[in-house]
Structure 1
Amino acid sequence: MSDDPLEQYRHRTPRPVYVMIADELATEIAKAPVDSPIASEKDIQQRWGVARATARHAIAELRDRGLVYTVPGRGSFVSPHS
């Protein structure tokens, strides 16, 4: 069995990997307090074994959903509207 948490989905679904990562993070964000930091791009890269661009897309997806906001140079945080 692989250590890759997304391997089981990669070949079964046409959904992009960044959407799957965003979905998992959204579940975690739902339990987190407002204004708490979310995983950084680097954390996402290491946790899921993806490229920086994929990590960036996952965070952008969360922003588009209104779940997080990003402060340049500081990171991304749980939105009050999530």
Structure 2
Amino acid sequence: MSTIDREGPVPPYRQIADILRQRIADGSIPVGRAIPSLVEQEREFGVARDTLRKAAKVLRDEGLVETVSGMGVYVTRVPEPTRSDS
């Protein structure tokens, strides 16, 4: 179970979006596959479905996932790697 910091400065939906984004980036959830269902995410993160929908919207707005009606939310691309100036 992934731990969400409910008292921290980052809202839970952002923390979940970050976790899912990382899983997409590292190939744990590959392009063409669905992210875990709301039921699975509820169990893992222990948050309300509204929070999970907000997290999916963040990823959708970034172009990483798309919703397929009646099927789920599918990964469409991997996030661009972040580059450091070192």
**TM > 0.5:** yes
How many Å apart are 1:4 and its aligned residue?
A: 6.2
Aligned length: 77
The one-letter code of the counterpart of 2:75 is V
How many Å apart are 1:10 and its aligned residue?
A: 2.4
Task: Please give the root-mean-square deviation of Cα atoms over the aligned residues, in Å.
Answer: 1.7
Aligned to 2:14: 19
Change (3 A) 1:4 1:23: closer
What percent identity do the matched residue pairs reach? 42
Moved over 4 A (4+): none
TM-score norm. by structure 1 comes to 0.81
Contact 1:66 1:81 in 2 (8 A): no
Change (3 A) 1:53 1:28: same
Change (3 A) 1:29 1:49: same
| 1:71 maps to 2:68 | yes
> Where do 5+ consecutive residues of structure 2 fail to align?
80-86
Higher helix share: 1
Pick aligned residue for 1:54 from 43, 51, 55: 51
CA distance in 2, matches of 1:65, 1:42: 23
